[in-house]
Structure 1
Amino acid sequence: MFKKAERKQAKLRLALAGPSGSGKTFSALLMAKGLGGRIAVIDTEQGSASLYSDIADFDVLELQAPFAPERYVDAITAAEVAGYNVLIIDSYSHEWTGPGGCLEANETLAHQKFRGNTWAAWNETTPRHRQLTNKILTSSLHVICTMRSKTETVQGEGKKIVKLGMKSEQRDGTDYEFTVVLDLTHDSHTALASKDRTKLFDQPELISEETGRRLLAWLNSGVSPEARAKELLVDAIADIARAPDMAALESAYNAGRVIVQGFDSLKPALVTAKDKRKHELTPQEQTA
């Protein structure tokens, strides 16, 4: 059944792409600080994130090769279990192009199992990569992923040499998975949105803590899951009150239980409505 679309509260899914030296890690930490709460960093860059420990309090997991997607999944799960609020994956590119990443793993698999046919090997490699993508999308944390961009050097105004970040070092189409994708410039470290569902980045911006605070306000401005559950509970209680017999009452109550799952404060109202209707129906059932 179709229903009116409404934006719900959400967790951040943001990618920061740029060439080496564009400030991806620094910008990610400032943004995470603005989002608030405990910060965790998965560092695949030989401890480079720890160089910025003076600008934000965070805990780090230094992930070494092989950069298999399953190891990223395990690290994200560990951050969730530990109760962090924001997770920075620095860098997401290693899962694709790094030692033991998907490209290298697929090449090895092709020679071991598919007689060098890399196309056939992707039938096994793609689901592994997809598992990580799904983990990022469904995580209970705000997730910021940094991605390396292939660098092209061009001559700008006044014959100045400028480094430009081109295609990100990740699977084609990765940008579609994120709510926001920001491309960082090498010289000015400013961010320009190549994808922005928030509509907050219509101009180039130097990322700061305020950037994180603005994003958090946008993420929290949607309808909360509990508020939506309260709305649905009104209808569920009405269905319980109209139940013509015990079987219908049981069905209506079970439907209501699904709505209030995870919201303990809403459960008493549902139980009260069920007990009230059960009491009203009992004499009818006995008479019948």
Structure 2
Amino acid sequence: MSIRFIPVTQINDPLTIALGLSGGSATGKTYSALLVARGMAQEMVGKSGAPIGYVDTENKRALHYKEAFPEMMHFDFAATNEAGEVVGFGPERWIEVIDAAEAAELPVLIMDSFSHAWEGVGGVLDLHAQVLDRLVRDKEAQNARYNNTSPVDPAKYSQLAWAEVKPRYRRLIDRIVRAKTNIIICTRAKPVMQAGFGAKAKNARPTKTRREDVPWDPASDGDLMFEMTAMVILDPSAPGCPVHQIKVADQFKGLFDPRRPMGEYTGAAMAKWARGQSEAQEQKAIMDGARDKAREGTEAFTAWWNSDDGKAVRPVVRPIMDEIQALCRVADEVATISDDVPFGRPDEDYGETFTGEADRG
């Protein structure tokens, strides 16, 4: 294999976008995906009416919007084939769909609901259960041959089953990431059981991918959301609004306003970024500059915020104000610590004063 490193100045191909939208019922996933896809497709193709590919696993639900989106290219992705045989939603079928979308040169493809790839018939969880059942039966048969009457514990074979199934799913995720068309993935989300009430409520069962401030669990692999260009969770309290922003890079933070529904402008702006024609890099530099100023403390940041320079970039910085506030708070706390106090704690915490040479032993 010949390996060649190419100067980035010679790479002019547009990037592709993988946008993840998750949410419960009545959060506006389908309509929002179509609006974003329309803006994305029109920007990519350069004209209105650009085609939108739509993979529909939900009994043709997307066709409820066919009059509003006549440019939709619909595919009814059912669990059965034309002969009525159950074929399910296995990873390989989704890869075929992406291959077909690229062959048709569709500028954007919506996959709704991609949760079927995880928890549907023939999806990853179903495949894991099938493999686990086979491994247990094989072990039971082996025990029978040797007159071993010990019961077989399925839990001991779960990881072996995952080792057989997960590579198939990872190939699908890799196909999504490397797709030559833009992809919008819609997944269902389920409410997380809460502990406590009101302002003190928090998620009762933490996981490695679940944030305490997000009371929804996407019905998908936990790692999928971090493979997306951007990933947001919609909430019934504000349909179409990216309320819970799981993964949003600086170049998109101004687009995803939790108080404003996503629309064609969202897709168009993301497409401009993908084509290298947006002001995203300049906006990121402004945000980084604001972060640097916040690291100087609240007083310094406030002075900058009220200066002509700060006023000129306020719209760009506002989406990260929670982060700015946290940085200011840390800087203010650090400023109160004396350089003469080791580890930032008063001498009395140690029982005696740290004197340097005498304490080195």
TM over 0.5: yes
Shift of 1:3: 9.6
Q: 1:3 to 1:81 in 2, by over 3 A?
A: closer
- The residue that corresponds to 2:158 in the other structure is 118
Separation in 2 of the partners of 1:124 and 1:180? 29
- The residue that corresponds to 1:95 in the other structure is 117
Shift of 1:167: 1.4
Mapping of 1:66-215 within 5 angstroms?
66-115=88-137, 116=154, 117-152=157-192, 166-189=216-239, 190-192=241-243, 193-202=245-254, 203-204=257-258, 205-215=260-270
- The residue that corresponds to 2:78 in the other structure is 64
Separation in 2 of the partners of 1:222 and 1:208? 19
Q: Is the contact made by 1:180 and 1:198 (CA closer than 8 Å) also made in structure 2?
A: no
Shift of 1:185: 1.3
Q: Is the contact made by 1:32 and 1:86 (CA closer than 8 Å) also made in structure 2?
A: yes
Q: Is the contact made by 2:89 and 2:121 (CA closer than 8 Å) also made in structure 1?
A: yes
Separation in 2 of the partners of 1:82 and 1:3? 29
Q: Is the contact made by 1:13 and 1:143 (CA closer than 8 Å) also made in structure 2?
A: yes
Shift of 1:219: 1.3
Higher strand share: 1
Separation in 2 of the partners of 1:198 and 1:28? 21
Q: 1:2 to 1:141 in 2, by over 3 A?
A: closer
Give the aligned residue type for 2:173: T
- Please tell me the root mean square deviation across aligned C-alpha atoms, in Å: 2.6
Which blocks of at least 5 consecutive residues in structure 2 are unaligned?
43-49, 80-87, 138-153, 200-213, 279-361
Shift of 1:109: 0.9
Separation in 2 of the partners of 1:129 and 1:184? 25
Q: Is the contact made by 1:24 and 1:184 (CA closer than 8 Å) also made in structure 2?
A: yes
Q: Is the contact made by 2:53 and 2:109 (CA closer than 8 Å) also made in structure 1?
A: yes
Q: 1:152 to 1:106 in 2, by over 3 A?
A: closer
Give the aligned residue type for 1:91: S
State the identity %. Answer: 29
Separation in 1 of the partners of 2:7 and 2:233? 34
Task: Give the 3-state SS of the residue equivalent to 2:159 in structure 1.
Answer: helix
Tell me which of 19, 26, 33 is aligned to 1:21: 26
Shift of 1:212: 0.9
Q: Is the contact made by 1:86 and 1:143 (CA closer than 8 Å) also made in structure 2?
A: yes
Q: Is the contact made by 2:192 and 2:217 (CA closer than 8 Å) also made in structure 1?
A: no
User: In the alignment, is residue 219 of structure 1 matched against residue 269 of structure 2?
Assistant: no
Separation in 2 of the partners of 1:92 and 1:140? 19
Q: 1:212 to 1:121 in 2, by over 3 A?
A: same
Q: TM-score, normalised by structure 1?
A: 0.69
- The residue that corresponds to 2:351 in the other structure is none
Q: Please list the CA deviations of residues 145-190 of structure 1 after superposition, one character each: whole Å capped at 9, or x if unmatched.
A: 0011112588879xxxxxx851111112211100100111113211
- The residue that corresponds to 2:203 in the other structure is none
Shift of 1:125: 0.3
Separation in 2 of the partners of 1:198 and 1:51? 35
- Tell me how many residue pairs correspond in the alignment: 217
Task: Give the 3-state SS of the residue equivalent to 1:206 in structure 2.
Answer: coil
Q: 1:153 to 1:110 in 2, by over 3 A?
A: closer
